[in-house]
Amino acid sequence: MKIIVAIKQVPEREAPVRIDAGGKWIEEANIQWAMNESDAYALEEALQLKEKHSGEVVVLSAGPERAGTTIREALAKGADRAIHIACDDLGDRDALGVARLLAAAIKPENPDLLLTGLQSDDLGYGQTGVILAELLGLPHASLILHVEKTDAGLTVKRELEEGWFQNIELPIPAVLSMQSGGSKLRYATLMGIKRARTKEVRTLSAAELAAPVASSVRLERIALPQKQKSTQILSGTAKETAAALVEKLKFEARIL
Amino acid sequence: MSSILVVIEQREARISRISWEALAAAQSLGAQLSLPVAAAIPGAQTESLAAELAGKALAKVVRVEHPLLSAYTPDGFTSALEQLVRAEQPGYVLFPHSYQVRDYAPALAARLGQVLIGDVTGIGDGPTFSRQLMQGRLNGAYRHSGAGPCFISVQSGAFHADAVQAGSAQIALFTPTIEAAQIRTRPGEPFRGSAQTVDLGSAQFIVSVGRGIKGAENLPVVEELAAALGAELAASRPICDNGWLPMERQVGSSGQTVSPKLYVAVGISGAIQHLVGIKGSQCVVAINKDPDAPIFEVADYGIVGDLFEVVPAITEAVKAAKQ
Amino acid sequence: MILFPATLAEPQHFSLWERLLFAGLVLLSITLFWRRFATVLRKILQSKRDADFRLFPLGRRMWDFFWEVLCQAKVIRQRPLPGIAHAFVFWTFCAFALVTLNHCAVGFGLGFLSSTSLAGRAYSYFAAAFAVACAGGILGLFVRRFLVRPRWLGQELSWESGFIALLIFVLMATYLAAFFVADVSPAARALWWLHSVALLTFLPVVPHTKHLHLLLSPATVFLSRGGFSHIPPLAGDEDFGLVAGTDLTRLVSLQAYSCVECGRCTEHCPAANTGKLLNPKEIVLGIRGYLNEYGPSSAEPLIGKYNPQEAPFQCTTCGACEFQCPVGIEHLPILVGLRRGAVNTGAWESDHGSRLFLALERGSNALGLPAGDRDKFIQKQQLPIFDGSQEYCLWLGCMGGYDPKGREIVADFARVMNYLGTSYGVLRKEKCTGDPVRRLGNDLLFQQLAESNLEMLSQSKVKKIVTICPHCVRTIQEDWKEFGTPPPVEHHSEFLARFVSQLPQVQGQEKIVYHDPCYLGRYRNVYQEPRTVVAHAGELLEAPRSHERSFCCGAGGGLAFLGEETGERVSHVRAAELAATGASTVGTACPFCNSMFRDAFAARGEDVPQLLDIAQLTARGLPNDAG
């Protein structure tokens, strides 16, 4: 089975968030970068499928030169080769624009399965996989925790709301958006890093993929949220604090 | 820019709460832009739900009905709604940001050359649509440009379902053309996660108890709170070490790592071994008699007091709130 | 002679047949000896070279050889009675070198230590004195092994040891008996022959049994890597630690063949003492078994038939085994080497382990908590930020920055420094020193953490580091050397001991039992400083196992992050021992120990000693407004 995993390099979870002079994005100067979390789960699922059924895992990532480190990380964890779409203007493209770029690189590869993470930790659109399926004319399912290969195609476990799940059968080739937490991630190893040095990374330029930059949705400005998380100590009699707590859980935290 | 269309989602033959919230958002946008709001309800049998919607302040209610829409499939819903949007030509299409919508709305938008603005938490002048970035550490304001409908999905809880204005609306029937062969995925029946065994890892609500409980005989106090919340019962290590609760209910570095929506820590002081196990929790409530207990550092809500008084009071308040 | 009236009988005039028979036996004995010994030597020499081995400077090696081999200091110090017995056997063997040579020469009529010469007589008395001590010693050791039977010698009785003891006893007895017979008597002849047979049996037995240590351990001690728990750097692109036979270095193989199976390592191992699979002796014997079966050129994995994967991952790296070993075996490079082999190739699968590694791949601390938590603590505690002008950089470490208990220790230590007027600051950002991943054998992650920290320190112009965590101290000072030059670092016990006289004495004579952390004691040789600090705060009590023989808390070697143990919890065993001293307070000097005992005491219930770090003990004496 030939599997393509689309991965994205995002700011590390602990990276400082400072708004840049343009007011449209954060300062990237002192940021450390990491593989998007749900993409790491997509990669893990792909590697496990390959280990079970043999085949090839190709990672695909669009981004500037620095994305190379994340691509190497994916190769170190066991992907066979990589395609890097060199693209410095990712931020100017909307979800459809980025998906068009990826689709143009995927088409000639004719994969049996295309995996993406559910959503990115930075922009959080959560649309790339679903749009890719539309652009490539392939069936898809999203919020997938587990993939089983069958004679007819695939059976996947999809997460529903409130603790429910559902199995879905679909033919291949197909596109799946992978939810985090469905499997256990492997750690990077020294051997993996050393072996990755000799693996192929093909670089394509955004220009040669001929995907238009024009977008219909624009991020106008960004702002820091007003409230920082801090502990609220509720006081009063037992009855009063209990009532206050339930009120907060209902309307502030919105979890009751 | 003729109208606003809001797509209603049904769950277990009822209109989901978040759909009402989307409807409230649509009405608010309609008021801002002076545009009529219509609701569409896709499904195989939509008559009674459409009747319920007809009691709201809407220009019309469209029953998008087809036998192949009885179970949700992305192919079926995308195709049906594509036909509806092409026919209705709305300026805005609003969805509830549910798992179902996330599964097909981006494809629907893309099919019409558009991009969904998802998970919207607020609507500003312009209109601009705000949503969170960087996992809630930033807010972004988005604007749609160019021709064609603007697709929006609204986040759960961002708008109030009870703000939906009542009125009366006509009901129309729209029958899309869908071939069985178009539908490529076969959905199975929903099922619950492992119900028998203790699965703290995927529990949404957890009530966890520590040494403050003093003895096994006092456990019913927290068990009742757990029952009222529909929560799993968990514990810190000393409780399990003493055999008051089984080891599989231990949360922390030597037990399970949890990520519930709500974690209620009762009589837990918050040793590091415990804290590392709960760091994925969305909301932590701590109840402890020691105001300096480290658990308060990580809690969202803290109550300093005697758990034997506070916890039963919370149990009662939760029961009352759930009625 | 006055001391010993008899003279050593020396049989004369062996017949040709006797000489031929003796020559034949000598030849046979040497052949049998050499066939096995040559095999062992070949296995050692065919092993991979130790890339970082340097013979010079010789001073340390010569001292180790003198002290540990010639003086038998370690053997005696760690087990005085059997140690002395063993030492006498060893010294007798040395004294008997000449005797034995003469004995064989006599068989060919070439004896040179004739009892008629004064020198010969004198030497025979000298040897006889040792022979008496040796015979007594070997009897004692025999009784211990076969009647007392300490459990670390293993479940099964070693008949091999009994046989060797018998041979040595016969050698001594026949030598001594010859003082009481006449030169020309048949008895003298019989004794000579009996001595010869025992001797020629003994020789080939040596390389076939653990008594190989007679020949190898002097070399093992002399050639040891030195330093404590020295983990050698990986050599080249294909070195991932101890994966297969081809990864065994000469030192590892030499050490594996040197093991005398005395079980000192087992006796002191916290894992072996709490019902875990790990037994350091079996790890070493496993390597030996592997070498015997597969040899040093084999690609067969080391983890397998001879060493199960679980065992090395139960090691707390407390180093009691390596510290105790009398024959120079360095267990930790082997144990960590096996872990490296499994982790660097991805063969080790552990949910907890992966979680730790992923936390450090993506984040900054081993606990996987957001770095913002550390910032909040620094703000709340109003700790000064290091700006290059202060004398000390106060390194918080993961426990000091994130653990509520560790934070209390840091806060109190900061109060003491404020009181003393010491200038210090904390770094804005810190990453885990890499201690847990270093010990768990994740070289990739360790290198990343070490390099990124070293760069941060040099950018911040840090000149001196002080920290409350002995694991940070060790890792910064020793392990980071592989990737750069770390600034000097000291543990807060060393700092506090220096200034303790300037600090107010704590009132009252509270009984405080001090627990030696492995990474401060055995790893850094710091025993007195924390005791000075404790004695300033109360009455110092010693635990039954203390100083070099301190018993681990169970947290080291990354085990604090690996979840529940099998068997008894190490921390509970040690906590019980500390509580049993009757002390009202347990004094710790390591935040990991502190957190382990906190849990252990929590499980014991209400009536337990309080648990305080030495910084907290000291800060209690400060006036309330200090800091």
Q: Which residue of C has its CA nearest to B250?
A: C564
Summarised one tens digit per residue, pLDDT across range C584-593 is 999 999 999 9
Q: CATH number of C504-619: 3.30.70, 3.40.50, 3.40.1130, 1.10.3720? A: 3.40.50
Q: How far apart are CA B97 and CA C520, in angstroms?
A: 56
Evaluate whether C227-344 and C504-619 have a shared fold. Answer: no
Count CB-CB contacts under 10 A for residue C525.
10
Q: Between B257, B271, B275, which is nearest C598 by CB?
A: B271
If DSSP codes are grouped into helix, strand and coil, which group holds residue A150?
Answer: coil
Contact between chains at B237 and C368 (C-beta distance less than 8 A): no
If DSSP codes are grouped into helix, strand and coil, which group holds residue A27?
Answer: coil
User: Is the confidence at residue C51, as pLDDT, over 80?
Assistant: yes
Q: How far apart are CA A11 and CA A122, in angstroms?
A: 7
Per-residue confidence (pLDDT) for residue A209, from 0 to 100: 87
C361: left (phi over 0), alpha (psi -120 to 50) or beta: alpha
- Determine, yes or no, domain membership for A24: yes
- Determine, yes or no, domain membership for A221: no
Per-residue confidence (pLDDT) for residue A23, from 0 to 100: 87
Contact between chains at B139 and A223 (C-beta distance less than 8 A): yes
Contact between chains at C404 and B294 (C-beta distance less than 8 A): yes
Count CB-CB contacts under 10 A for residue C73.
16
The residues pairing with C537 across neighbouring beta strands, listed in sequence order, are none
User: Is the confidence at residue C329, as pLDDT, over 60?
Assistant: yes
- Determine, yes or no, domain membership for A147: yes
| Chains sharing 3 or more CB pairs under 8 A with chain C | A, B
Q: How far apart are CA A193 and CA B10, in angstroms?
A: 49
Would you give the distance in Å from CA C481 to the centre of its chain?
22
Residue type, A75: L
Q: CATH number of B4-182: 3.30.930.10, 3.30.1370.60, 3.40.50.620, 2.70.98.90? A: 3.40.50.620
Q: Which residue of A has its CA nearest to C353?
A: A187
CATH class of C227-344: mainly alpha
Q: Which residues of C touch chain A, with CB atoms under 8 Å apart? A: 234, 237, 240, 343-346, 351, 353-354, 357-358, 361-364, 370-372, 442-445
User: Is the confidence at residue C4, as pLDDT, over 60?
Assistant: no
Q: Which residue of C has its CA nearest to B243?
A: C603
Q: How far apart are CA B266 and CA B229, in angstroms?
A: 14
Q: How far apart are CA C23 and CA C36, in angstroms?
A: 20
The answer to ipTM > 0.85 is yes
Summarised one tens digit per residue, pLDDT across range B11-44 is 888 999 899 999 999 999 999 999 999 999 999 9
Query: HSE (CB half, 13 Å, CA atoms) of C396?
Result: 34
Residue type, C167: L
- Tokens 């600051």 sit at which residue? C425
Q: Which residue of A has its CA nearest to B294?
A: A231
Write the CB contacts of B163 (distance below 8 Å, at least 6 apart in sequence): B24, B27, B28
Answer whether A138's CB lies under 8 Å from A104's CB: no
Residue type, A174: A
**pTM to 2 decimal places:** 0.90
- Tokens 């964890």 sit at which residue? A77
Contact between chains at B136 and A223 (C-beta distance less than 8 A): no
- Residues of A within 8 A of C372 (CB-CB) are 14
Residue type, C184: V
Banded pLDDT at C1 (limits 50, 70, 90): very low
Looking at residues C577-606, what average pLDDT do you find? 93
User: Is the confidence at residue C323, as pLDDT, over 50?
Assistant: yes
Per-residue confidence (pLDDT) for residue C561, from 0 to 100: 94
Shortest CA gap A162–chain B (Å)? 8
Per-residue confidence (pLDDT) for residue C386, from 0 to 100: 97
Work out the burial of residue B323: count CB atoms within 10 Å of its CB; fewer than 13 is exposed, 13-18 middle, 19 or more buried. Answer: exposed
Nearest to B289 by CA among B300, B277, B305, B275: B305
If DSSP codes are grouped into helix, strand and coil, which group holds residue C325?
Answer: coil
Q: How far apart are CA C383 and CA C367, in angstroms?
A: 22
Touching B: C residues 428-467, CB under 8 Å: none
And the tokens for C469?
């965590």
Q: Where are the alpha helices (DSSP H) in chain A?
A: 37-53, 67-77, 95-106, 128-136, 190-196, 238-251
Banded pLDDT at A213 (limits 50, 70, 90): confident
Banded pLDDT at C136 (limits 50, 70, 90): very high
Looking at residues A104-111, what average pLDDT do you find? 97
Q: Which residue of B has its CA nearest to A227?
A: B137
Looking at residues C116-136, what average pLDDT do you find? 91
Per-residue confidence (pLDDT) for residue B194, from 0 to 100: 58
Q: Between B132, B190, B321, which is nearest A164 by CB?
A: B190
Sign of the Cα pseudo-torsion (C19, C22, C24, C30, in order) = negative
Looking at residues B207-236, what average pLDDT do you find? 93
Banded pLDDT at C627 (limits 50, 70, 90): low
Q: Which residue of A has its CA nearest to B138?
A: A224
User: Is the confidence at residue B164, as pLDDT, over 60?
Assistant: yes
Q: How far apart are CA C492 and CA C488, in angstroms?
A: 13
Summarised one tens digit per residue, pLDDT across range C228-267 is 999 999 998 999 999 999 999 999 999 999 999 989 999 9
Question: End-to-end alpha-carbon separation of chain B, Å?
Answer: 43
Q: How many domains, in total, are found in chain A? A: 1
- Residues of A within 8 A of B140 (CB-CB) are 219-223
Shortest CA gap B254–chain C (Å)? 4
Banded pLDDT at C3 (limits 50, 70, 90): very low
Which residue segment(s) compose the domain that A202 sits in? 2-209
Per-residue confidence (pLDDT) for residue C2, from 0 to 100: 40
B210 touching C (Cβ < 8 Å):
no
Q: How much helix, strand and coil, in percent to the nearest 5, is found in chain C?
A: 60, 5, 35
From residue C552, alpha-carbon distances to A140, C330, C441, C574, C577 in Å are 54, 18, 20, 7, 11
Per-residue confidence (pLDDT) for residue C265, from 0 to 100: 95
Which residue ranges does chain B devote to CATH 3.40.50.1220?
200-322
Banded pLDDT at B314 (limits 50, 70, 90): very high
Give the rounded percent of residues in chain C with a pLDDT score beyond 70.
99
- Determine, yes or no, domain membership for A90: yes
What is the rounded average pLDDT for all residues in chain B? 92
Per-residue confidence (pLDDT) for residue C306, from 0 to 100: 95
Per-residue confidence (pLDDT) for residue A32, from 0 to 100: 87
Q: Which of A190, A197, A198, A229 to mutate to test the interface with C (most CBs of C within 10 A)?
A: A190
Banded pLDDT at B157 (limits 50, 70, 90): confident
Contact between chains at C362 and A34 (C-beta distance less than 8 A): yes
| Domain definitions of chain C by residue range | 16-222, 227-344, 364-496, 504-619
Contact between chains at C363 and A14 (C-beta distance less than 8 A): yes
Answer whether C555's CB lies under 8 Å from C593's CB: yes
Contact between chains at A166 and B302 (C-beta distance less than 8 A): no
CATH class of C364-496: alpha beta
Inter-chain Cβ pairs, chain A and chain C, closer than 8 A: 49
User: Is the confidence at residue C91, as pLDDT, over 90?
Assistant: yes
Answer whether A114's CB lies under 8 Å from A6's CB: yes
| Domain containing residue A174: CATH number | 3.40.50.620
- Determine, yes or no, domain membership for A241: no
For the ranges A231-245, B72-86, B236-250, the maximum mean pLDDT occurs at B72-86
Banded pLDDT at B227 (limits 50, 70, 90): very high
Give the rounded percent of residues in chain C with a pLDDT score beyond 90.
82
| Chains sharing 3 or more CB pairs under 8 A with chain B | A, C
- Determine, yes or no, domain membership for A46: yes
- Residues of A within 8 A of B300 (CB-CB) are 229, 231-232, 253
Summarised one tens digit per residue, pLDDT across range A60-72 is 999 999 999 999 9
From residue C563, alpha-carbon distances to A32, B251, C348 in Å are 30, 11, 15
Q: How far apart are CA A74 and CA A44, in angstroms?
A: 9
Please give the CATH topology (third level) of the domain spanning B200-322: Rossmann fold (3.40.50)
User: Is the confidence at residue A228, as pLDDT, over 60?
Assistant: no
Contact between chains at B237 and C405 (C-beta distance less than 8 A): no
C22-61 exposure pattern, b = at least 16 Cβ within 10 A, e = fewer: beebbeebeebbeebbeebbebbeebbebeeeeeeeeeeb
Q: How far apart are CA A225 and CA C458, in angstroms?
A: 35
For the ranges B271-280, B296-305, C355-364, C486-495, the maximum mean pLDDT occurs at C486-495
Count CB-CB contacts under 10 A for residue C210.
20
Q: Where are the alpha helices (DSSP H) in B64-198?
A: 74-88, 99-111
If DSSP codes are grouped into helix, strand and coil, which group holds residue A245?
Answer: helix
User: Is the confidence at residue C222, as pLDDT, over 60?
Assistant: yes
Nearest to B134 by CA among A16, A116, A39: A16
Shortest CA gap A23–chain C (Å)? 24
A85: left (phi over 0), alpha (psi -120 to 50) or beta: beta
Which residue ranges does chain B devote to CATH 3.40.50.620?
4-182
DSSP 8-state assignment for residue B91: S
Write the CB contacts of C39 (distance below 8 Å, at least 6 apart in sequence): none
Shortest CA gap C562–chain B (Å)? 7
Q: Which residue of B has its CA nearest to C356?
A: B253
Answer whether B127's CB lies under 8 Å from A106's CB: no
Answer whether C368's CB lies under 8 Å from C265's CB: no
